[in-house]
Chains A and B, each alone.
Chain A
Amino acid sequence: EIVMTQSPATLSVSPGERATLSCRASQSISSTLAWYQQKPGQAPRLLIYGASTRATGIPARFSGSGSGTEFTLTISSLQSEDFAVYYCQQYDDWPRTFGQGTKVGIK
């Protein structure tokens, strides 16, 4: 099983600031990496797939980068609606696996 490790677990950011979230895979997964956003009481929402492609309707302030084992999600200027939990997920192999999540909170 491919283990996905996210850091940090919690990130405190002021509105308008930049947030950088990391995700590491236990083995190379090429670019088969997705990022999701989840708010309390809601289903997750796909943000990024293929490590760097924004999903339909996702604002340009969200960007993804990386390949192999190291990946980054950057939110260039945090808006109030961006405070949420973010998960990475690999789909290179079965079972699909998620990271444990990074909670982005208001500083």
Chain B
Amino acid sequence: EVQLLESGGGLVQPGGSLRLSCAASGFTFSYYGMNWVRQAPGKGLEWVSGIVGSGGTSVSAGYTHYVDSVKGRFTISRDNSKNTLYLQMNSLRAEDTAVYFCAKDLGRSGFSSLDFWGQGTLVTVSS
């Protein structure tokens, strides 16, 4: 059974940093792309960042992608030996306040929908 468990959320002041983790189990983690998706209170879903897995082409494995609003502030990474996905968030702003979901790619190609999601971790940026 696929499981994704996020942790690391909390209250942080504007300009501060936080690192989110997503512990994965139930599938060969390294093969699949992984993503972070966020949802501000009462708002819709926003894809934040993704990292390609090794199941696609060797050229694209490990490639990272970001939405423009977090480029230069957030860094996605993965530790395949620990089956864990990370999101390092620096220079946090009030508008980064949201529930952050970790989500797995359905396929290995790097172009895929998201078939499993964690329950989310809340990040609140406020003074």
Contacts and interface: CB of A to CB of B under 8 A. Distances in A.
A72 interface: no
Contact of B113 (A1, A34, A100): A34
A91 B112 CA distance: 6
B45 A87 contact: yes
Interface string A55-90: 110000000000000000000000000000101010
Given A1-B68, A46-B106, A34 B114 contact: yes
Interface stretch (B14-22, B79-87, B116-124): B116-124
B50 A100 contact: no
B73 interface: no
B27 interface: no
A86 to B, nearest CB: 11
Interface of B: 35, 37, 44-47, 50, 65-68, 101, 106, 111-115, 117-120
Interface of A: 1, 32, 34, 36, 38, 42-46, 49-50, 55-56, 85, 87, 89, 91-92, 94-101
